[in-house]
Structure 1
Protein backbone atom coordinates (compact mmCIF):
# COMPACT_ATOMS: atom_id res chain seq x y z
CA UNK A 1 0.00 0.00 0.00
CA UNK A 2 1.24 3.53 -0.68
CA UNK A 3 2.67 5.26 2.36
CA UNK A 4 1.69 8.76 3.45
CA UNK A 5 3.97 11.32 1.82
CA UNK A 6 4.75 14.44 3.83
CA UNK A 7 6.25 17.76 2.76
CA UNK A 8 6.67 19.59 6.07
CA UNK A 9 4.15 18.02 8.44
CA UNK A 10 1.96 20.69 10.12
CA UNK A 11 2.57 21.02 13.84
CA UNK A 12 -1.03 21.83 14.73
CA UNK A 13 -4.59 21.09 13.73
CA UNK A 14 -5.32 24.80 13.62
CA UNK A 15 -2.81 25.23 10.80
CA UNK A 16 -4.73 22.82 8.58
CA UNK A 17 -8.00 24.77 8.70
CA UNK A 18 -8.42 26.58 5.41
CA UNK A 19 -5.94 24.41 3.52
CA UNK A 20 -6.76 23.43 -0.05
CA UNK A 21 -7.91 19.88 -0.78
CA UNK A 22 -6.86 18.40 -4.10
CA UNK A 23 -8.23 15.26 -5.70
CA UNK A 24 -6.63 13.20 -8.47
CA UNK A 25 -8.29 15.51 -11.02
CA UNK A 26 -7.67 18.91 -9.44
CA UNK A 27 -8.63 21.14 -6.54
CA UNK A 28 -11.99 20.30 -5.00
CA UNK A 29 -12.31 22.60 -1.99
CA UNK A 30 -10.76 23.44 1.35
CA UNK A 31 -10.58 22.15 4.92
CA UNK A 32 -13.47 23.49 6.97
CA UNK A 33 -12.88 21.53 10.17
CA UNK A 34 -11.36 18.42 11.72
CA UNK A 35 -13.21 16.02 14.00
CA UNK A 36 -11.11 14.62 16.86
CA UNK A 37 -11.76 11.43 18.80
CA UNK A 38 -11.08 12.29 22.45
CA UNK A 39 -10.66 8.68 23.65
CA UNK A 40 -7.62 7.76 21.56
CA UNK A 41 -6.86 11.34 20.46
CA UNK A 42 -6.80 10.93 16.71
CA UNK A 43 -8.30 12.84 13.81
CA UNK A 44 -11.38 10.86 12.75
CA UNK A 45 -12.74 13.03 9.92
CA UNK A 46 -11.53 15.85 7.67
CA UNK A 47 -14.48 18.16 6.91
CA UNK A 48 -14.24 19.54 3.37
CA UNK A 49 -16.16 22.43 1.83
CA UNK A 50 -16.36 21.51 -1.85
CA UNK A 51 -16.28 24.06 -4.67
CA UNK A 52 -19.53 25.32 -6.20
CA UNK A 53 -18.82 23.46 -9.44
CA UNK A 54 -18.94 20.26 -7.38
CA UNK A 55 -22.17 21.17 -5.64
CA UNK A 56 -20.76 23.27 -2.80
CA UNK A 57 -21.48 20.50 -0.29
CA UNK A 58 -19.79 20.04 3.07
CA UNK A 59 -18.57 16.46 3.19
CA UNK A 60 -16.59 14.10 5.41
CA UNK A 61 -13.30 12.69 4.16
CA UNK A 62 -11.48 9.93 6.10
CA UNK A 63 -7.82 10.63 6.93
CA UNK A 64 -7.02 7.27 5.30
CA UNK A 65 -7.86 8.92 1.99
CA UNK A 66 -5.11 11.55 2.37
CA UNK A 67 -1.98 10.41 0.57
CA UNK A 68 0.10 13.60 0.58
CA UNK A 69 0.38 16.44 3.10
CA UNK A 70 2.08 19.55 1.69
CA UNK A 71 2.76 22.15 4.36
CA UNK A 72 4.57 24.47 1.95
CA UNK A 73 1.66 24.48 -0.49
CA UNK A 74 -0.93 24.26 2.33
CA UNK A 75 -2.60 21.35 0.59
CA UNK A 76 -4.03 17.92 1.41
CA UNK A 77 -3.89 15.56 -1.57
CA UNK A 78 -6.23 12.60 -1.95
CA UNK A 79 -6.14 9.86 -4.55
CA UNK A 80 -9.93 10.03 -4.92
CA UNK A 81 -11.60 11.91 -7.76
CA UNK A 82 -13.43 15.16 -7.18
CA UNK A 83 -16.75 13.48 -7.93
CA UNK A 84 -16.11 10.70 -5.42
CA UNK A 85 -15.42 13.22 -2.66
CA UNK A 86 -18.23 15.61 -3.61
CA UNK A 87 -20.78 12.78 -3.53
CA UNK A 88 -19.50 11.58 -0.16
CA UNK A 89 -21.38 11.69 3.16
CA UNK A 90 -22.41 15.21 4.15
CA UNK A 91 -21.33 16.81 7.41
CA UNK A 92 -23.52 18.51 9.98
CA UNK A 93 -21.12 20.77 11.91
CA UNK A 94 -23.78 21.59 14.48
CA UNK A 95 -23.29 18.25 16.19
CA UNK A 96 -20.69 15.48 16.56
CA UNK A 97 -20.85 12.47 14.29
CA UNK A 98 -21.56 8.99 15.59
CA UNK A 99 -19.74 5.71 15.35
CA UNK A 100 -22.62 4.47 13.21
CA UNK A 101 -21.95 7.35 10.81
CA UNK A 102 -18.33 6.22 10.76
CA UNK A 103 -19.40 2.71 9.78
CA UNK A 104 -21.47 4.18 6.95
CA UNK A 105 -18.44 6.17 5.83
CA UNK A 106 -16.47 2.96 5.79
CA UNK A 107 -19.06 1.39 3.53
CA UNK A 108 -19.05 4.41 1.23
CA UNK A 109 -15.29 4.76 0.87
CA UNK A 110 -14.48 1.07 1.49
CA UNK A 111 -11.77 1.75 4.02
CA UNK A 112 -11.56 -1.26 6.35
CA UNK A 113 -12.01 -0.57 10.08
CA UNK A 114 -12.53 3.11 9.32
CA UNK A 115 -13.82 3.90 12.80
CA UNK A 116 -11.01 2.27 14.78
CA UNK A 117 -8.07 2.53 12.38
CA UNK A 118 -6.88 6.10 12.04
CA UNK A 119 -3.14 5.71 11.63
CA UNK A 120 -0.87 6.44 8.69
CA UNK A 121 -2.91 7.14 5.59
CA UNK A 122 -3.42 4.59 2.86
CA UNK A 123 -5.12 4.93 -0.49
CA UNK A 124 -7.71 2.34 -1.44
CA UNK A 125 -10.20 2.22 -4.29
CA UNK A 126 -13.45 3.75 -2.96
CA UNK A 127 -16.90 2.70 -4.06
CA UNK A 128 -20.24 4.42 -3.66
CA UNK A 129 -22.30 1.78 -1.88
CA UNK A 130 -24.69 3.50 0.47
CA UNK A 131 -25.42 7.22 0.63
CA UNK A 132 -28.30 6.99 3.12
CA UNK A 133 -26.67 7.75 6.46
CA UNK A 134 -28.04 7.83 9.98
CA UNK A 135 -26.51 10.59 12.09
CA UNK A 136 -26.37 10.16 15.87
CA UNK A 137 -24.56 11.99 18.62
CA UNK A 138 -21.13 10.79 19.68
CA UNK A 139 -19.98 12.43 22.89
CA UNK A 140 -16.36 11.52 22.18
CA UNK A 141 -16.13 13.25 18.79
CA UNK A 142 -15.02 16.89 18.88
CA UNK A 143 -14.99 19.66 16.30
CA UNK A 144 -11.67 21.54 16.33
CA UNK A 145 -13.50 24.78 15.61
CA UNK A 146 -15.82 24.20 18.55
CA UNK A 147 -13.25 23.07 21.11
CA UNK A 148 -10.92 26.02 20.50
CA UNK A 149 -11.81 28.51 23.19
CA UNK A 150 -13.06 25.92 25.70
CA UNK A 151 -12.07 26.71 29.28
CA UNK A 152 -9.18 24.61 30.58
CA UNK A 153 -10.31 23.43 34.00
CA UNK A 154 -7.67 22.08 36.38
CA UNK A 155 -8.31 20.13 39.58
CA UNK A 156 -8.67 23.39 41.50
CA UNK A 157 -10.10 25.85 39.00
CA UNK A 158 -9.85 27.42 35.55
CA UNK A 159 -6.40 28.25 34.20
CA UNK A 160 -7.06 29.45 30.66
CA UNK A 161 -8.46 28.35 27.32
CA UNK A 162 -7.74 25.67 24.74
CA UNK A 163 -6.07 27.30 21.74
CA UNK A 164 -4.93 24.40 19.56
CA UNK A 165 -3.77 20.78 19.44
CA UNK A 166 -0.44 19.48 18.16
CA UNK A 167 -0.20 16.57 15.75
CA UNK A 168 2.35 13.81 16.23
CA UNK A 169 4.69 14.10 13.25
CA UNK A 170 3.75 11.90 10.31
CA UNK A 171 0.47 10.65 11.77
CA UNK A 172 -3.07 11.78 12.58
CA UNK A 173 -2.57 11.34 16.33
CA UNK A 174 -2.82 14.25 18.76
CA UNK A 175 0.01 14.59 21.28
CA UNK A 176 -0.54 17.87 23.13
CA UNK A 177 -3.13 20.53 23.82
CA UNK A 178 -1.99 24.13 23.41
CA UNK A 179 -3.38 26.17 26.30
CA UNK A 180 -3.49 29.95 26.57
CA UNK A 181 -2.94 30.71 30.25
CA UNK A 182 -4.22 33.70 32.19
CA UNK A 183 -6.27 36.78 31.37
CA UNK A 184 -3.44 39.19 30.63
CA UNK A 185 -2.17 40.12 27.17
CA UNK A 186 -0.25 38.59 25.64
CA UNK A 187 -1.30 35.38 27.34
CA UNK A 188 1.32 32.77 28.19
CA UNK A 189 1.12 29.63 26.06
CA UNK A 190 1.93 26.16 27.40
CA UNK A 191 1.48 22.56 26.28
CA UNK A 192 -0.44 19.87 28.14
CA UNK A 193 0.01 16.22 27.06
CA UNK A 194 -3.39 14.85 26.09
CA UNK A 195 -2.80 11.92 28.45
CA UNK A 196 -3.59 14.32 31.31
CA UNK A 197 -6.97 15.32 29.83
CA UNK A 198 -9.69 13.56 31.81
CA UNK A 199 -12.73 14.80 29.89
CA UNK A 200 -13.91 17.23 27.23
CA UNK A 201 -17.36 18.57 28.12
CA UNK A 202 -19.37 19.84 25.19
CA UNK A 203 -22.20 21.05 27.45
CA UNK A 204 -19.93 22.96 29.85
CA UNK A 205 -17.45 24.06 27.21
CA UNK A 206 -14.51 22.82 29.26
CA UNK A 207 -11.43 20.64 28.96
CA UNK A 208 -10.94 18.88 32.29
CA UNK A 209 -7.27 18.30 33.15
CA UNK A 210 -6.14 16.01 35.99
CA UNK A 211 -3.49 18.42 37.23
CA UNK A 212 -3.45 21.31 39.71
CA UNK A 213 -3.74 24.76 38.17
CA UNK A 214 -0.28 25.78 39.37
CA UNK A 215 1.33 22.84 37.56
CA UNK A 216 -0.19 23.99 34.27
CA UNK A 217 0.66 27.66 34.82
CA UNK A 218 4.32 26.87 35.53
CA UNK A 219 4.77 24.44 32.62
CA UNK A 220 7.52 25.21 30.09
CA UNK A 221 6.38 27.95 27.73
CA UNK A 222 5.56 27.19 24.10
CA UNK A 223 6.18 29.42 21.08
CA UNK A 224 4.02 28.39 18.07
CA UNK A 225 6.43 30.19 15.75
CA UNK A 226 9.22 27.82 16.83
CA UNK A 227 7.16 24.67 17.25
CA UNK A 228 7.81 21.56 19.31
CA UNK A 229 11.32 20.20 18.90
CA UNK A 230 12.90 17.10 20.50
CA UNK A 231 14.55 19.12 23.29
CA UNK A 232 11.30 20.85 24.21
CA UNK A 233 9.41 17.57 24.12
CA UNK A 234 11.97 16.02 26.45
CA UNK A 235 11.57 18.95 28.86
CA UNK A 236 7.81 18.51 28.80
CA UNK A 237 8.03 14.79 29.49
CA UNK A 238 10.38 15.43 32.38
CA UNK A 239 8.15 18.17 33.78
CA UNK A 240 4.82 16.39 33.52
CA UNK A 241 6.26 12.97 34.32
CA UNK A 242 4.66 11.17 31.39
CA UNK A 243 4.86 10.93 27.62
CA UNK A 244 1.77 12.02 25.65
CA UNK A 245 0.34 8.49 25.67
CA UNK A 246 2.27 6.99 28.59
CA UNK A 247 1.19 5.89 32.04
CA UNK A 248 1.29 8.45 34.89
CA UNK A 249 4.51 8.77 36.82
CA UNK A 250 5.41 11.04 39.70
CA UNK A 251 5.30 14.61 38.40
CA UNK A 252 8.43 16.70 38.79
CA UNK A 253 8.37 18.84 41.92
CA UNK A 254 7.57 22.50 41.27
Structure 2
Protein backbone atom coordinates (compact mmCIF):
# COMPACT_ATOMS: atom_id res chain seq x y z
CA UNK A 1 0.00 0.00 0.00
CA UNK A 2 1.22 3.51 -0.79
CA UNK A 3 1.83 5.61 2.30
CA UNK A 4 3.26 8.96 3.34
CA UNK A 5 6.62 8.96 5.13
CA UNK A 6 5.88 12.31 6.71
CA UNK A 7 2.76 10.95 8.43
CA UNK A 8 4.83 8.32 10.23
CA UNK A 9 7.06 10.82 12.03
CA UNK A 10 6.15 10.95 15.69
CA UNK A 11 4.52 7.51 15.76
CA UNK A 12 5.09 5.51 18.95
CA UNK A 13 7.54 2.63 18.52
CA UNK A 14 5.74 -0.53 19.62
CA UNK A 15 8.21 -3.30 20.47
CA UNK A 16 7.17 -6.90 21.11
CA UNK A 17 6.99 -6.31 24.86
CA UNK A 18 6.16 -2.62 25.22
CA UNK A 19 6.41 0.90 23.87
CA UNK A 20 9.77 2.61 23.44
CA UNK A 21 10.41 6.00 21.88
CA UNK A 22 9.12 7.76 18.79
CA UNK A 23 9.77 7.59 15.04
CA UNK A 24 12.11 10.48 14.24
CA UNK A 25 13.24 9.88 10.65
CA UNK A 26 13.84 7.35 7.88
CA UNK A 27 17.12 6.68 6.08
CA UNK A 28 17.04 5.52 2.49
CA UNK A 29 19.56 4.32 -0.08
CA UNK A 30 19.93 7.05 -2.70
CA UNK A 31 20.97 4.52 -5.37
CA UNK A 32 17.84 2.36 -5.08
CA UNK A 33 15.51 4.64 -3.11
CA UNK A 34 14.74 1.81 -0.74
CA UNK A 35 14.16 2.59 2.93
CA UNK A 36 16.99 0.99 4.92
CA UNK A 37 16.35 2.16 8.48
CA UNK A 38 13.82 3.71 10.79
CA UNK A 39 15.42 6.22 13.12
CA UNK A 40 14.02 6.03 16.63
CA UNK A 41 14.29 8.73 19.28
CA UNK A 42 14.62 6.98 22.64
CA UNK A 43 15.84 10.01 24.52
CA UNK A 44 14.34 11.96 27.38
CA UNK A 45 14.36 15.58 28.50
CA UNK A 46 17.72 14.97 30.18
CA UNK A 47 19.51 12.82 27.62
CA UNK A 48 19.55 12.13 23.91
CA UNK A 49 19.59 8.67 22.38
CA UNK A 50 18.85 7.87 18.76
CA UNK A 51 19.04 4.42 17.19
CA UNK A 52 18.52 2.91 13.76
CA UNK A 53 16.21 -0.06 13.30
CA UNK A 54 16.70 -2.02 10.04
CA UNK A 55 13.68 -2.38 7.79
CA UNK A 56 13.87 -6.17 8.17
CA UNK A 57 12.40 -5.67 11.65
CA UNK A 58 9.62 -3.27 10.65
CA UNK A 59 5.99 -4.37 10.66
CA UNK A 60 3.05 -2.60 9.07
CA UNK A 61 2.31 0.70 10.84
CA UNK A 62 -0.95 0.99 12.72
CA UNK A 63 -2.37 4.09 11.09
CA UNK A 64 -5.36 4.16 13.43
CA UNK A 65 -3.56 4.57 16.75
CA UNK A 66 -0.26 5.95 15.37
CA UNK A 67 1.87 3.05 16.60
CA UNK A 68 4.71 1.51 14.63
CA UNK A 69 5.14 -2.20 15.48
CA UNK A 70 8.73 -3.46 15.56
CA UNK A 71 9.69 -7.15 15.61
CA UNK A 72 12.18 -6.62 18.44
CA UNK A 73 12.15 -6.45 22.22
CA UNK A 74 12.55 -3.17 24.09
CA UNK A 75 15.91 -4.37 25.40
CA UNK A 76 17.20 -5.16 21.91
CA UNK A 77 16.24 -1.68 20.72
CA UNK A 78 17.71 0.02 23.79
CA UNK A 79 21.01 -1.83 23.37
CA UNK A 80 21.38 -0.82 19.72
CA UNK A 81 24.55 1.19 18.98
CA UNK A 82 23.94 4.91 19.53
CA UNK A 83 23.43 6.72 16.24
CA UNK A 84 26.11 9.14 15.15
CA UNK A 85 24.55 12.60 15.00
CA UNK A 86 26.50 13.70 11.92
CA UNK A 87 25.41 12.40 8.53
CA UNK A 88 26.31 10.50 6.49
CA UNK A 89 26.21 7.31 8.53
CA UNK A 90 29.55 5.52 8.35
CA UNK A 91 29.94 1.99 7.08
CA UNK A 92 31.64 1.13 10.38
CA UNK A 93 28.49 2.09 12.25
CA UNK A 94 26.36 0.06 9.84
CA UNK A 95 28.61 -2.96 10.43
CA UNK A 96 28.13 -2.60 14.19
CA UNK A 97 24.41 -2.34 13.58
CA UNK A 98 24.18 -5.49 11.45
CA UNK A 99 26.23 -7.37 14.04
CA UNK A 100 23.88 -6.23 16.82
CA UNK A 101 20.76 -7.24 14.90
CA UNK A 102 22.41 -10.40 13.50
CA UNK A 103 21.70 -9.47 9.89
CA UNK A 104 23.59 -10.03 6.66
CA UNK A 105 24.99 -6.71 5.35
CA UNK A 106 23.05 -5.45 2.34
CA UNK A 107 26.03 -3.72 0.69
CA UNK A 108 27.18 -3.45 -1.99
CA UNK A 109 23.75 -2.11 -2.94
CA UNK A 110 21.76 -4.42 -5.16
CA UNK A 111 20.84 -3.25 -8.64
CA UNK A 112 17.34 -1.92 -8.95
CA UNK A 113 14.94 -4.82 -9.12
CA UNK A 114 17.16 -7.37 -7.39
CA UNK A 115 15.26 -6.96 -4.13
CA UNK A 116 11.92 -6.91 -5.85
CA UNK A 117 9.19 -4.32 -6.00
CA UNK A 118 5.65 -4.45 -4.77
CA UNK A 119 3.06 -5.80 -7.17
CA UNK A 120 0.81 -3.11 -8.66
CA UNK A 121 -0.58 -1.94 -11.96
CA UNK A 122 0.95 1.52 -12.40
CA UNK A 123 3.91 1.30 -12.38
CA UNK A 124 5.60 -2.07 -11.91
CA UNK A 125 8.14 -0.42 -9.64
CA UNK A 126 10.29 2.58 -10.57
CA UNK A 127 11.54 2.52 -14.14
CA UNK A 128 14.84 3.93 -12.94
CA UNK A 129 16.09 5.85 -9.94
CA UNK A 130 17.68 9.29 -9.54
CA UNK A 131 21.38 9.61 -8.93
CA UNK A 132 23.46 11.85 -6.74
CA UNK A 133 25.85 14.29 -8.39
CA UNK A 134 29.09 12.54 -9.34
CA UNK A 135 31.31 15.03 -7.55
CA UNK A 136 29.35 14.39 -4.37
CA UNK A 137 29.68 10.63 -4.61
CA UNK A 138 32.81 10.29 -2.47
CA UNK A 139 31.25 8.86 0.66
CA UNK A 140 31.34 5.28 1.79
CA UNK A 141 27.57 4.78 1.99
CA UNK A 142 24.56 6.04 0.06
CA UNK A 143 22.30 6.54 3.07
CA UNK A 144 20.28 9.71 3.11
CA UNK A 145 17.74 11.09 5.55
CA UNK A 146 14.17 12.07 4.73
CA UNK A 147 14.50 14.98 7.14
CA UNK A 148 17.62 16.00 5.23
CA UNK A 149 15.99 16.24 1.81
CA UNK A 150 12.57 17.60 2.68
CA UNK A 151 12.59 21.25 1.81
CA UNK A 152 15.00 20.76 -1.10
CA UNK A 153 14.14 22.95 -4.10
CA UNK A 154 12.80 21.55 -7.39
CA UNK A 155 15.12 22.52 -10.25
CA UNK A 156 13.01 22.12 -13.39
CA UNK A 157 14.29 22.66 -16.94
CA UNK A 158 13.29 26.32 -16.93
CA UNK A 159 13.00 27.39 -13.29
CA UNK A 160 13.85 26.59 -9.68
CA UNK A 161 10.72 26.53 -7.57
CA UNK A 162 8.77 24.78 -4.82
CA UNK A 163 10.26 22.09 -2.61
CA UNK A 164 10.15 18.43 -1.60
CA UNK A 165 7.37 18.06 0.95
CA UNK A 166 7.03 14.31 1.44
CA UNK A 167 7.86 10.88 0.05
CA UNK A 168 5.33 8.18 -0.82
CA UNK A 169 6.43 4.62 -0.16
CA UNK A 170 5.07 1.17 -0.87
CA UNK A 171 5.07 -0.19 2.68
CA UNK A 172 5.20 -3.84 1.60
CA UNK A 173 8.88 -3.57 0.63
CA UNK A 174 9.65 -0.01 1.79
CA UNK A 175 10.33 1.20 -1.73
CA UNK A 176 10.03 4.93 -2.33
CA UNK A 177 7.77 5.48 -5.35
CA UNK A 178 6.96 9.19 -5.47
CA UNK A 179 8.19 12.57 -4.31
CA UNK A 180 5.49 14.94 -3.08
CA UNK A 181 6.25 18.40 -4.44
CA UNK A 182 4.85 21.55 -2.89
CA UNK A 183 4.68 23.85 -5.91
CA UNK A 184 4.87 27.00 -3.78
CA UNK A 185 7.02 27.67 -0.76
CA UNK A 186 5.34 27.64 2.61
CA UNK A 187 1.97 29.18 1.76
CA UNK A 188 -1.34 27.50 2.72
CA UNK A 189 -2.92 27.70 -0.76
CA UNK A 190 -0.11 25.84 -2.52
CA UNK A 191 -0.83 22.90 -4.81
CA UNK A 192 0.94 19.60 -4.13
CA UNK A 193 1.66 17.04 -6.83
CA UNK A 194 3.36 13.66 -7.09
CA UNK A 195 6.52 13.15 -9.13
CA UNK A 196 7.43 9.53 -9.95
CA UNK A 197 11.04 9.13 -8.91
CA UNK A 198 12.06 8.09 -12.41
CA UNK A 199 11.45 11.63 -13.72
CA UNK A 200 13.98 12.98 -11.22
CA UNK A 201 17.39 13.19 -12.87
CA UNK A 202 19.62 13.89 -9.88
CA UNK A 203 19.60 14.81 -6.23
CA UNK A 204 22.21 17.41 -5.27
CA UNK A 205 22.94 17.55 -1.58
CA UNK A 206 25.41 20.39 -2.04
CA UNK A 207 22.86 22.58 -3.84
CA UNK A 208 19.94 21.18 -1.85
CA UNK A 209 17.80 20.52 -4.88
CA UNK A 210 16.18 17.81 -6.98
CA UNK A 211 16.90 18.18 -10.69
CA UNK A 212 13.85 17.28 -12.78
CA UNK A 213 13.89 16.94 -16.57
CA UNK A 214 10.48 18.55 -16.98
CA UNK A 215 9.33 22.16 -17.41
CA UNK A 216 7.93 23.95 -14.39
CA UNK A 217 4.44 24.26 -15.91
CA UNK A 218 4.25 20.52 -16.57
CA UNK A 219 4.95 19.78 -12.92
CA UNK A 220 2.50 22.42 -11.72
CA UNK A 221 -0.20 21.10 -14.10
CA UNK A 222 0.10 17.53 -12.79
CA UNK A 223 -2.95 16.01 -11.06
CA UNK A 224 -3.26 17.46 -7.57
CA UNK A 225 -2.28 15.21 -4.68
CA UNK A 226 -4.80 14.95 -1.86
CA UNK A 227 -3.26 13.23 1.19
CA UNK A 228 -6.76 12.31 2.40
CA UNK A 229 -7.23 10.02 -0.63
CA UNK A 230 -5.44 6.74 -1.27
CA UNK A 231 -2.72 6.52 -3.90
CA UNK A 232 -4.36 3.57 -5.64
CA UNK A 233 -4.07 2.06 -9.11
CA UNK A 234 -6.77 4.35 -10.54
CA UNK A 235 -4.94 7.47 -9.37
CA UNK A 236 -1.60 6.07 -10.56
CA UNK A 237 -3.04 5.41 -14.02
CA UNK A 238 -4.14 9.04 -14.31
CA UNK A 239 -0.73 10.16 -13.06
CA UNK A 240 1.26 8.00 -15.47
CA UNK A 241 -0.99 8.87 -18.39
CA UNK A 242 -0.30 12.55 -17.64
CA UNK A 243 3.47 12.20 -17.36
CA UNK A 244 3.60 9.78 -20.29
CA UNK A 245 2.02 12.37 -22.59
CA UNK A 246 4.30 15.13 -21.33
CA UNK A 247 7.50 13.12 -21.59
CA UNK A 248 6.84 11.59 -25.03
CA UNK A 249 5.56 14.73 -26.79
User: What's the CA shift for 1:239?
Assistant: 1.6
User: What's the CA shift for 1:151?
Assistant: 0.6
- How has the CA–CA distance of structure 1 residues 35 and 214 changed in structure 2, closer, same or farther, with 3 Å as cutoff? same
Matches for 1:116-155 after TM superposition, within 5 Å: 116=109, 137=139, 140-155=142-157
- How has the CA–CA distance of structure 1 residues 83 and 185 changed in structure 2, closer, same or farther, with 3 Å as cutoff? closer
Distance 1:68 1:190 in 2: 25
C-alpha RMSD of the superposition:
2.7
User: What's the CA shift for 1:67?
Assistant: 2.9
Matches for 1:1-254 after TM superposition, within 5 Å: 11-50=3-42, 52=44, 57-115=49-107, 116=109, 137=139, 140-183=142-185, 185-241=188-244, 251=247, 253=249
Distance 1:40 1:231 in 2: 25
Distance 2:232 2:192 in 1: 16
Distance 2:234 2:151 in 1: 28
Distance 1:225 1:82 in 2: 33
Structure 1: any 5+ residue segments left out of the alignment?
A: 1-8, 121-135, 242-248
Distance 2:242 2:95 in 1: 40
User: What's the CA shift for 1:139?
Assistant: 6.7
Q: Which moved more, 1:85-94 or 1:192-201?
A: 85-94
User: What's the CA shift for 1:172?
Assistant: 0.5
Distance 2:226 2:171 in 1: 17
- How has the CA–CA distance of structure 1 residues 223 and 67 changed in structure 2, closer, same or farther, with 3 Å as cutoff? closer
Tell me if the contact between 2:88 and 2:144 (Cα under 8 Å) persists in the aligned partners. yes
The structure showing larger relative contact order (alpha-carbon pairs under 8 Å, at least 6 residues apart) is: 2
Distance 1:230 1:213 in 2: 25
Tell me if the contact between 1:103 and 1:114 (Cα under 8 Å) persists in the aligned partners. no
Paired residues in the alignment total: 222
SS of corresponding position for 1:73: coil
SS of corresponding position for 2:27: strand
User: What's the CA shift for 1:202?
Assistant: 1.8
User: What's the CA shift for 1:36?
Assistant: 1.8
User: What's the CA shift for 1:150?
Assistant: 0.9
* TM-score (normalizing by structure 2): 0.79
Distance 2:140 2:156 in 1: 24
User: What's the CA shift for 1:101?
Assistant: 3.1
* TM-score (normalizing by structure 1): 0.78
User: What's the CA shift for 1:162?
Assistant: 0.5
After superposing on structure 2, the runs of 4+ consecutive aligned residues of structure 1 that deviate more than 6 Å are 117-120
